[in-house]
Amino acid sequence: MQLSKGAEAYIYLEGDRIVKVRESKKYRINEIDSKLIKSRTKKESTALSKCNQHNIPSPKLIEFNSNKIVMSYIEGKTLSHYKNDIYYKQAGKILAELHKINLCHGDFTPNNLIVNSEVVYVIDFGLCEFSTYLEKKSTDLRVMKDSLKNEELFKIFLESYMSNYNEGPVVFERYLKNESRGRYKERV
C-alpha cells in the first residue's frame, strides 16, 4: 500500500516494513540520474545503519539496493501532534546523538519524528549528510526552530540537545551567528 510520495521517492507499507523506492526522473540525463539515485539511497541506508549501530531510535535497516531501502515500520503519530515536554527532550537528545556521530539530518522537524509507546523515533534521512561542520549541525537547530514556531518547546528541545552533546554550545553559537545574518533577522 502506498503511504506517500515525496520529491525523491515513493513510500510503501508492506506488512511491518516500509519500502522506500527512488524512481528515475525523466528530466535528468540517464547516467546522472542513475548515479544520483544510487548515491542518495546508499547515503540514507548508511545513515540508518549508523543509527542502528549507535542505538538511536529509528527504523531498523533490513536491506537496500541501488534504488530501494527496506526498513522496519514504526507506527505512531508525528511529534507535531504533541506538546509534551518529555517528547521534545527526547528529540533534543536524538539530535545530540546524531551529531555525536557527525550525522546531520537535514530535515529535523516534528514531522520527521514519530512517537510510539512513549518513545520518539527519527525517520526520513533523505536529506542527511555526514559532516563535522558546525554550519551543517546548526542548520538542524534552525530547521527545528522554524518548524516548531513555539519558543517554549524549542527551549526545552535545545536544553536537552545542549546537555547531551559536549559540542552543543559551540553548535549553538554558530546557530546564533547564522540567525543574525540578514536572511534570518526579523524584519520590521
| Residue positions annotated with a catalytic role | 107
- The residue assigned the cell 514519530 is 114
> Do 128 and 81 contact (CB within 8 A), yes or no?
no
Q: How many CA atoms lie within 13 A of 169 on its CB side?
A: 2
DSSP state of 81: G
Rounded CA gap, 136 and 132, in Å? 8
Q: How many CB atoms lie within 10 A of CB 42?
A: 14
C-alpha cell at 23: 524512481
Residues forming a β-bridge with 59: none
Angle between helices 168-179 and 85-100 (to 10 degrees): 100
Residue 70 sits at φ, ψ, to 5 deg, of -115, 125
